[in-house]
Structure 1
Amino acid sequence: MYSGTILIIDDDVRNIFALSATLQVRGFTCYTAVSAQQGIALLENHPDIDIVLLDMMMPEMDGYEAIPLLKACSAAPVIAVTAQAMIGDREKCLAAGADDYISKPIDVDKLMLVLSAHIKQVD
């Protein structure tokens, strides 16, 4: 079982629903935002957020623009979540400041490995 608070930022509500349901069943508390701007506001107002799952391809402000703003208001690790899974995309996300990377469609086992590297596990 896990413990922690996760902010999911994704412009697709279906992705938010699937991710939050998956994470809540495993013991996480989830906040959600449908835009980077909304996510930044949530992060600023909720210092209890332990980690951010950030969709990299969103309208208005994409993940590459959002990462430095998220990092400026919180020490929470930012995990890039993207359908871009070509050679070099992981490196591009990390170069933009992401702490880790996971591609869509999300493999839940891989997601849990990434999260466990950044959030403590509760026995």
Structure 2
Amino acid sequence: MMNKKVLIVDDDPRNIFALKLTLKSRGYQVESSMNAQLAFQILKDSEIDIILMDMMMPEMDGYEAVKIIRNTPAVSRIPIIAVTAQAMPEDRQKCLDAGAQDYVSKPIDVDQLITAIEKLL
């Protein structure tokens, strides 16, 4: 569990800030990105163990970003947890269909998130 690196992709700096604090307090290393393009760069340059992907972002949304990651051999095996304010069952399915392994809705339940991360790592 120690020194696992989490990449947070979210266009809201407050979400990144809160998640970083939470994850660092649990012993995770955290990288963050406010858009999908930067996330791809970080994935290329760093050893990332798991991705928290906001699904609602301007420019490129999380669904498209997840599909690109899944189609990029070097990073296609990294687990992705979709994070979205959309909490309907069909939204969850849409995230999983796009290639995410799990799903947490906003506002984020920290225990649920940590459980999801630990299950995938």
TM-score, normalised to structure 1, is 0.92
Tell me the percent identity.
Answer: 53
Deviation by residue 1:2-27 (Cα, 9 ceiling, x = unmatched): 54100000000000000011000000
Partner of 1:106: 108
* SS of match in other structure, 1:53: strand
Alignment counterpart, residue 82 of structure 2, candidates 71, 80, 86? 80
The residue number in structure 1 matching 2:16 is 16
Distance 2:45 2:3 in 1: 20
Distance 1:77 1:41 in 2: 17
Aligned to 1:94: 96
* Structure 1: gaps spanning 5 or more residues: none
Q: Find the counterpart in structure 1 of residue 69 from structure 2.
A: 70
* Separation in 1, partners of 2:67, 2:94: 14
> Aligned residue for 1:54?
53
Cα distance, 1:87 vs structure 2: 2.6
> 1:43, 1:70 within 8 Å by CA — same for their partners in 2?
no
| Secondary structure in 2 matching 1:88 | helix
Which structure 2 segments of 5+ residues have no match?
Answer: none
Ranked by relative contact order (alpha carbons within 8 Å, sequence separation 6 or more), the top structure is: 1
Offset at residue 67 of structure 1 (A): 0.5
> C-alpha offsets along residues 32-84 of structure 1, whole Å, 9 cap, x if unaligned?
000011101101111x2100000000000001110022221412111100000
**SS of equivalent residue, structure 1 residue 52:** strand
1:30 paired to 2:4: no
Which aligned segments of 4 or more residues in structure 1 are displaced greater than 6 angstroms?
none
